[in-house]
Structure 1
Amino acid sequence: MTKRVRSRRSDGPIPPTLYWRLFRLSPLIMLFGMAAGGVLIIRSILVWGVEDTDYPFGIDIPIAAAVLVVWGCAAVALLTPPRSVLARRDGANESAALVWPLGRRFRLWTIIAAPVCGLLVAIAPFPILVALGWDPAIPANLWLGLPMAIGLALFAAALTWIVLRGALHGVEITPTHLIARGYFITRRYQRDAIVSINAVTLKWWPNLVLSTLMSREVEHTLQLSLVGGEEPMLYAANSHEHDVEIGAEMVRAWRQRAE
């Protein structure tokens, strides 16, 4: 009787070393996606969507499409990490690892928003120019137009920053630190300084801000208790309640192994 040998499952679509390189370079990758998406959408509208206007088809359209395809492949790779770079529930990772459930709810949306965000960034300056009287057919209206234009520009800048950090969004644990990469900033916490980890419900004001910004209800996230008495909220960790509970379990296991 021959013995059946079960084949070992692949670690992932790409090697861990390559994934970490893509991960560290992801803001640049997202920037390429934004630029290519903005060019492709605008040029496509001008060539095929505007009547009685002569906008010829140019080489920039297939180039932007090709860049967008490459960006799409990189985005798929970033969203399907190898198992060896993911944090384990028993906390037995020997090197840096991503706590994948934390931040998972919005990671996909912020990444795939890159092409549309490129369009928004491209058109954001126009309301400011119109408010300043750039178009002779429209009189300048600084009192009304300029605040609206500045608000739109600030929103576009914030959205751009969020999208650039889309693949980084979440929590990473290393042998010595917990790294929380939120929508706007990155915070680091020493492993030995963490006393406890809890899944919590957001207070009303961060709930309102994040829900407005993401156009979806944002309720659950992770909260740390530190040696000095601080209790920071990890907005990088917000996701569905089930994801946050699993992520908290992974971080607790990682922390307990330091004892």
Structure 2
Amino acid sequence: MTKRIRVRRNDSPLSPRSYWRLLAWSPAIMLVGMAAGAVLIVRSMLVWGVDDDDYQFGLDIPLSAGLLILWAGAVALILLPPRGVLALRSGPFEAKRLMVWPLGRRFRMWNMLAAPVCGLLVVFVPFAIPTALGWNPGIPASPWVGLPMALGLTAVASGLVGIVLRSALHGVELTPTHLIARGYLWTRRYPRHQIVSVNPVVLTFWSSALLRMLMNRDVEHSLQLSLVDGREPLLLASNSHEADVDAAAEIIRAWRSAFVG
């Protein structure tokens, strides 16, 4: 049974060319969101949450708030791609670059909106390991308990930064020659002529558990490619709801068939 693919009727104020340029700058945009969010949250807590005259209202607070507003506007534009960048089951597929929008839809927005909070976490990371080693004279050293916790916090924060920086890029793109899967930490490219089939699958226990830990949500469905050399790689950049994965599989099959023969 063929599932109906929902097509968004409204359109973006950006042209496809402008949208791709904005998307290329998305890691820098996410970095601005992390930095501005961290400054605004920390300074607001100190000024209005701590009864101390040493913490006064300054221009950094409205400046960081203004940057967050600009960041939110850029995020809104990224989440509203123009029709010209979207790959549809009906084609055409001749464009240099098309986005399979259903893939990654489930987490794309939430990962982008996590930037300010992620920035707040990063603020504490540089102090974790030195504090555990006793470099802070007011806190006793705790190498056996505090150091492993500090190293774990650093590893988690580094992973979250990578996820947030790539959150807008996360997903699958199609070109006339390649399928490009942009995961949370790296990008993989698959030549079109090497793809035999694409099918929705249920993730294995370990893959699902890892993504559940990272996303704090159940992740069960993804796409799996079958290649001419016998490999069957999972597209972890495609994790989403079952309906989204099914719809995306139809789009990719149509893209592959459009160039066959």
Q: Same fold (TM over 0.5)?
A: yes
The CA RMSD over aligned residues, in Å, is 1.1
* Alignment match, 2:73: 73
* Alignment match, 1:39: 39
Instruction: Structure 2: give runs of 5+ residues left out of the alignment.
Output: 1-8
Residue 212 of structure 1: SS of its match in structure 2? Answer: helix
Distance 1:185 1:156 in 2: 17
* 1:115 matched to 2:93: no
* Alignment match, 1:171: 172
* 1:192 matched to 2:155: no
Question: Offset of 1:29 from its aligned partner?
Answer: 0.7
User: Superposed, which structure 2 residues align to 1:1-259 within 5 Å?
Assistant: 11-95=11-95, 96-259=97-260
TM-score, with structure 2 as normaliser: 0.94
* Alignment match, 1:3: none
Question: Offset of 1:123 from its aligned partner?
Answer: 1.1
Q: Write the deviation string for residues 99-125 of structure 1: whole angstroms up to 9, x where unpaired.
A: 000111010111000011000001122
Distance 2:53 2:250 in 1: 59
Contact 1:91/1:251 (8 A) holds in 2:
no
Contact 1:11/1:84 (8 A) holds in 2:
no
Residue 180 of structure 2: SS of its match in structure 1? Answer: strand
Contact 2:11/2:80 (8 A) holds in 1:
no
Question: Offset of 1:132 from its aligned partner?
Answer: 1.2
Distance 1:227 1:88 in 2: 25
* Alignment match, 2:5: none
TM-score, with structure 1 as normaliser: 0.94
Question: Offset of 1:90 from its aligned partner?
Answer: 2.0
Distance 1:241 1:53 in 2: 54
Name the aligned partner's letter for residue 78 of structure 2: L
Question: Offset of 1:53 from its aligned partner?
Answer: 4.8
Aligned length: 251
Question: Offset of 1:13 from its aligned partner?
Answer: 2.2
Distance 1:51 1:99 in 2: 51
Contact 2:23/2:169 (8 A) holds in 1:
yes
